[in-house]
């Protein structure tokens, strides 16, 4: 049975690279949500004035991986205690956010929320898919500086911690 989860925790390239490697995850789509600007583009988001966050929409098979397990990965692969930033990525577009798709998801997100977390938990919002070039960005741009400096170390930590969840 396929369900959806929507998370934002810094740059969506990182989240896409992590969640696309998990068993039971059928698809990860980078995009934008939580703002007031209609049909935002990457350039709009980068200005930090639209109210949107960089997010990923995850389709997963709950018979293979649970929402709780996805949250565990989410909490451990970014810093939910920093407001509007992840590392050198600064601005509201990089905020830690969970857009829930049901009362169950809201309940589990609140229950698992780490101490001192500043993560926004809100009802699902309009999801605007990002430009095609952002899908699988790490896969196709592995040697790019940001990928080497930021995403590769996150993936190394992720694969060591969650090796039993990898495809």
Residue 23 sits in a domain whose CATH number is: 3.30.1060.10
- Asked if residue 53 lies in contact with residue 127, where contact means CB atoms within 8 angstroms, the answer is no
**Residues 4-23, mean pLDDT to the nearest whole number:** 98
Would the pLDDT of 148 be above 90?
yes
Would you say residue 167 lies in a domain? no
Would you say residue 148 lies in a domain? yes
pLDDT at 48: 85
pLDDT at 49: 87
Would you say residue 123 lies in a domain? yes
Is 147 an active-site residue? no
Would you say residue 117 lies in a domain? yes
pLDDT at 45: 94
Active-site annotation holder among 11, 14, 46, 147: 11
pLDDT at 69: 98
Q: What SS3 state is found at 106?
A: helix
Backbone angles phi, psi at 139, to 5 degrees: -55, -40
Give the model's confidence band at 58: pLDDT under 50 very low, under 70 low, under 90 confident, else very high.
very high
Q: Rounded CA gap, 107 and 19, in Å?
A: 22
Would the pLDDT of 39 be above 90?
yes
Matching residue, tokens 């592995």: 142
What total number of domains does the chain contain? 1
Give the model's confidence band at 33: pLDDT under 50 very low, under 70 low, under 90 confident, else very high.
very high
pLDDT at 134: 97
* pLDDT tens per residue across span 90-125: 999 999 999 999 999 999 999 999 999 999 999 998
Would you say residue 101 lies in a domain? yes
Would the pLDDT of 144 be above 90?
yes
Number of H helices, E strands in the chain: 7, 8
Closest CA to 34 of 18, 2, 56, 13: 56
Would you say residue 131 lies in a domain? yes
Domain carrying residue 9: 2-162
pLDDT at 68: 98
- Asked if residue 53 lies in contact with residue 34, where contact means CB atoms within 8 angstroms, the answer is yes
Would you say residue 60 lies in a domain? yes
- Asked if residue 117 lies in contact with residue 96, where contact means CB atoms within 8 angstroms, the answer is yes
């Amino acid at each position: 049975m396929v369900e959806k989860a929507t998370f934002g925790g810094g740059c969506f390239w990182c989240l896409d690279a992590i969640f696309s490697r998990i068993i039971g995850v059928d698809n990860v789509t980078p995009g934008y949500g939580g703002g007031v600007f209609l049909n935002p583009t990457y350039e709009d988001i980068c200005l930090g004035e639209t109210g949107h966050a960089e997010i990923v929409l995850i389709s997963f098979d709950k018979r293979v991986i649970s929402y709780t397990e996805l949250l565990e990965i989410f909490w451990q692969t970014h810093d939910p205690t920093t407001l509007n930033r992840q590392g050198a990525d600064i601005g509201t577009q990089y905020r830690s956010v969970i857009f829930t798709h049901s009362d169950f998801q809201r309940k589990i997100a609140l229950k698992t929320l780490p101490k001192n977390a500043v993560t926004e938990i809100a009802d699902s919002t309009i999801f605007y898919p990002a430009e095609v070039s952002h899908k699988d960005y790490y896969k196709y741009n592995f040697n790019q500086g940001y990928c080497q400096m930021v995403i590769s170390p996150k993936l190394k930590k992720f694969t060591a911690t969650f090796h039993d969840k990898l495809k």
